[in-house]
């Protein structure tokens, strides 16, 4: 017997959905780590470093110029052994014959006093000694002090003329051959004036030496003095003109212009200095022309000084390196030869070792206490 089954229609099963993936929790990636996502890698750069702004050095407050030479007197005394003390010893002898007077004359000449001033001093001393007869050490010292002050010019006006002309600043032109300390003297003078409460602008017109402009910029930065400079090998007169213009705009009290001691062009140095001075005078008055001389060069420096004096009308002398090995008589001879006073003296390597020249302090240091 056959059984017949009626196959019923089957209902298809519902589609099977794939299981849902659990949500991925997003985590902040650590700096500098690698984040992996579906086999792709991304490197997160570190944060940019903050830009470091250079901090300018603090502006210094220099001491005033008054009394500097008194404070530096001990440095002058270093040169007294062959000059002041030697003269005092000779003049204190019981018998002053011709041989002793010859020694006195030789001592003065060796100290760079110069032949003509030496002859005048010896003649005057011989006359005074005869009048006195017997001499005490104090009398001998008084005689020598009097003669030295007479030759140096104790009553000479050594003022730096730095008064403003209305709205225009005073202008100082610094000249001299390279190697005498010209740029350093310019920087020290600016420092001294700032210490006296003046606003100063510096002109780096020595375009022959790039180091000169950099050196002057360092001096100016220390005391907050503006420095005007030009390209290396540029026109010095143009830099000087711009410095004076800046001084007028900034209402400065003094503009100090450092000039070249030699040039890279065929133009003569003296012609260039004359041009610098003429160009400055289109904007302002040149109140001081300071000639920087190295006190250790003696008569060689004197010949250099005469050449400068013929061109730019020197008004004063800044005598550097007067401490230590310098011969004190150079003050007498340089003034006699040039007809202008020593106004500033350099008595060391420190930033405040430039001082207004004081004849009495100078002579007393040479002769000792």
Please tell me the predicted confidence (pLDDT) of residue 34. Answer: 44
Q: Is the pLDDT of residue 32 over 90?
A: no
Least confident of 3-7, 133-137, 154-158, 359-363: 3-7
Q: Which residue did the predictor score with more confidence, 110 or 15?
A: 110
CA–CA distance, 125 with 134 (Å, rounded to integer): 14
The pTM of the full predicted model, rounded to 2 decimals, is 0.80
**Under 8 Å CB-to-CB from 298, ≥6 apart: which residues?**
112, 327, 330
257-279 mean pLDDT: 80
pLDDT-derived band at 312 (thresholds 50, 70, 90) equals confident
- Buried b or exposed e, range 322-354, using 16+ CB within 10 angstroms: bbeebbbbbbbbbbbbbebbbbbbbbbeebbbb
CB 87 within 8 A of CB 305: no
pLDDT at 343: 96
The pLDDT of residue 280: 96
Q: Is the pLDDT of residue 7 over 50?
A: no
Is residue 103's pLDDT more than 50?
A: yes
Confidence of residue 328 (pLDDT cuts 50, 70, 90): confident
pLDDT at residue 112 in the model: 85
Phi and psi at 77, nearest 5°, equal -65, -15
Mean pLDDT of the chain: 82
Question: In this predicted model, what pLDDT tens digit does every residue of 76-96 receive, in sequence order?
Answer: 776 555 678 888 888 888 888
- The phi-psi region of residue 31 (left if phi > 0; otherwise alpha if psi is between -120 and 50; otherwise beta) is beta
pLDDT at 315 over 90: yes
Please state the rounded mean pLDDT for residues 278-306: 87
At 191 the pLDDT is 94
Specify the pLDDT at position 131.
Answer: 86
pLDDT in tens, 18-27: 555 555 555 5
Residue 230: Cβ within 10 Å count: 18
Q: What is the DSSP string of 154-185?
A: TT---------BTTBPEEEEEE--TTSSHHHH
| Separation CA 369–CA 141 (nearest Å) | 10
pLDDT at 123 (0 to 100): 93
């Amino acid at each position: 017997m056959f059984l017949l089954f009626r196959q019923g229609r089957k209902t298809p099963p519902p589609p099977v959905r794939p299981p849902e993936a659990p949500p991925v929790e997003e985590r902040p990636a650590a700096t500098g780590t690698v984040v992996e996502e579906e086999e792709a890698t991304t490197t997160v750069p570190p944060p940019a470093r903050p830009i470091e702004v250079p901090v300018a050095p603090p502006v210094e407050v220099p001491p005033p110029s008054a009394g500097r030479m008194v404070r530096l007197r001990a440095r002058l005394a270093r040169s007294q052994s062959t000059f002041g003390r030697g003269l005092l010893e000779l003049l204190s002898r019981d018998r002053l014959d011709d041989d002793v007077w010859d020694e006195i004359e030789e001592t003065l000449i060796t100290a760079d006093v110069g032949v003509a001033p030496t002859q005048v001093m010896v003649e005057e001393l011989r006359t005074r000694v005869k009048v006195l007869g017997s001499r005490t050490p104090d009398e001998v010292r008084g005689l020598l002090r009097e003669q030295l002050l007479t030759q140096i010019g104790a009553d000479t006006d050594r003022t730096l003329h730095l008064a403003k002309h209305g709205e225009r600043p005073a202008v100082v032109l610094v000249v001299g051959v390279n190697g005498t300390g010209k740029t350093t003297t310019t920087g020290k003078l600016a420092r001294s004036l700032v210490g006296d409460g003046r606003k100063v602008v510096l002109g780096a017109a020595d375009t022959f030496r790039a180091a000169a402009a950099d050196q002057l910029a360092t001096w100016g930065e220390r005391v907050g003095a503006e420095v005007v400079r030009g390209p290396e090998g540029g026109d010095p007169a143009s830099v000087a003109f711009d410095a004076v213009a800046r001084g007028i705009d900034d209402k400065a009290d003094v503009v100090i212009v450092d000039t070249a001691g030699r040039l890279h062009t065929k133009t003569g140095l003296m012609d260039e200095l004359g041009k610098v001075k003429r160009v400055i005078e289109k904007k302002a008055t040149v109140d001081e022309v300071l000639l920087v001389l190295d006190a250790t060069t003696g008569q060689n420096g004197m010949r250099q000084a005469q050449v400068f004096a013929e061109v730019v009308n020197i008004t004063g002398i800044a005598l550097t390196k007067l401490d230590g090995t310098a011969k004190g008589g150079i003050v007498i001879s340089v003034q006699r030869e040039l007809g202008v006073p020593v106004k500033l003296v350099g008595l060391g390597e420190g930033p405040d070792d430039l001082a207004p020249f004081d004849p009495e302090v100078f002579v007393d240091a040479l002769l000792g206490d």
